[in-house]
Amino acid sequence: MTTFQPTVEDPGELTLGGSSRASRPGLGERTAALATIVFLIVGLPLDWFNPPPRGAQLVGGESPLVIVAFLGLAGTVFYFMAGNWHILVRVSLRSPLVVALHFLMVASSFWSVSPGTSFRRSVAISLAAVIAVYLLTRFTQLELFRMLAWAMLIAVVLNLLFFFGFPDLARTFERRSGNMVITGVFSNKNSFGQMAILAVFTFAVAIRADRRFRLLWLASMLLGIVLVVLSQSKTSLATAGLGVVLLAFYQVFRARKTMFGAVTLLVLGASALSIAFTVANIEFLSGLLGRDATISGRMPLWESVIDSFDDRLLFGHGWAAFWNGFFSPAHELYIQNSWLPPSAHNGFLDLITQLGFVGFGVGAMMFLVGLRRGTVHAQNIPGIFGLWPLGVISIAVVYSMSESSLIGRHIFWVLTVMALVVVDQPTRTLSLPTAARRRMLVAASKRVENQQIGA
């Protein structure tokens, strides 16, 4: 059996593209980066205590204060990137499919049925992608996941405090099921569940990567699992379970030449299982999973969405313009589905409605290439730092089978862009900061000395 050998000795110290600055990020930059990550996870307190009224998702509005805060954080990122833009551009151009998808989003403003909405939303998502690349180029992967873990811990504790301190605000009436559901500081249970999934994944990586705080991250992961269960989002529960299974299998097949074939089959199987989890009419599965209106309502919704593909097949209706109120192209779907769906609840179907089959092709190819290169990355980079990008890309694909909220101005898309960009970089372009290089040289020198003494 042919096996692959890792090519990097200290992957936790890797950054992308290096940096022209003599020093690593200072306290101010680290604080700004942490604040940006927390904002991308939970937003602003204004939204926690003033949830949008029922139906607000149908008009596509967003608080001006949130927009100002996001632009302010993006401006801070641009400030810290001053003098290093060539690095960001060089790293980004190695991910042409990621760039092409964001270009299509912004360009769709020219043919959109709602140009203003398409422009605002696509620019915000593109800025989030820039933030993702900035974080990769300025921080080592160990530093990055340590920050992500602390930000996720803040989010988890915040949601638990909100749940116990403001129980009325932490619950929302869900029209589809007719029940009160736990949403934490978010406006819906799927966003709450999405945060919980990412928290569990981040803590799982941190347990392996950051041994100094291993017990803290283990306890935090258990809290994250509690939040996944509290969210009552079956999509989140299924994605979390399938994600754990996928990572376990990836570890088993990691050293084998046939790993990409195994990854492809596993992701396809997990995606099929995710769809079955959502729409299957098998009696046993229905009883086991306790299907509700949220799940059983998706199949007729998908049929309605597919029927709406009659026009604008090539480039779609414009980014975020299809599901944009009763006077948008989705008005017939609102009539056919009385629970007022805010999206197609399938990321790939929504790519077609917004960017047509051109956008769908770019997105599908982006994930397929990401899985292929993620496999190579996992075999070349040892430990959890070689495996996490493949895990994120796989979870993103599986999650998109029954939800449409992957692409957005939030941490899930930032993590996905990070993973796609990391695996697109040739291993030789990954660089170590000066201190890490010195440590590795000293370690290598000691090994040579020990070998000479032994001889």
User: HEC string of 208-259?
Assistant: HHCHHHHHHHHHHHHHHHHHHHHCCCHHHHHHHHHHHHHHHHHHHHCCCCCH
**pLDDT score of 8:** 45
Q: CB-side exposure of 373: number of CA atoms within 13 Å?
A: 20
Asked if residues 424 and 19 have their Cβ atoms less than 8 Å apart, the reply is no
% pLDDT > 90, the chain:
33
CA distance 240 to 132: 23
- Of the pLDDT bands very low, low, confident and very high (cuts 50, 70, 90), residue 238 is confident
User: Which one is predicted more confidently, 217 or 309?
Assistant: 217
CA distance 352 to 120: 19
Closest alpha carbon to 184 in 243, 228, 236, 235: 228
pLDDT tens for each residue of 33-79: 999 999 999 988 777 776 655 444 444 456 677 788 888 888 888 88
- Of the pLDDT bands very low, low, confident and very high (cuts 50, 70, 90), residue 275 is low
pLDDT tens for each residue of 336-358: 777 778 888 888 999 999 999 99
Asked if residues 236 and 190 have their Cβ atoms less than 8 Å apart, the reply is yes
What are the φ and ψ backbone dihedral angles of 179, each rounded to 5 degrees? -125, 160
**pLDDT score of 14:** 59
Is residue 165's pLDDT more than 50?
yes
User: Which one is predicted more confidently, 385 or 54?
Assistant: 385
Average pLDDT over residues 363-369: 95
Question: Which of helix, strand or coil describes residue 182?
Answer: strand
Asked if residues 391 and 201 have their Cβ atoms less than 8 Å apart, the reply is yes
**pLDDT score of 284:** 40
> In 10 A of CB 18, how many CB atoms?
16
Residues 6+ apart with CB under 8 A from 278: 234, 235, 295, 298, 401, 402
- Sign of the Cα torsion 120, 126, 129, 131 reads negative
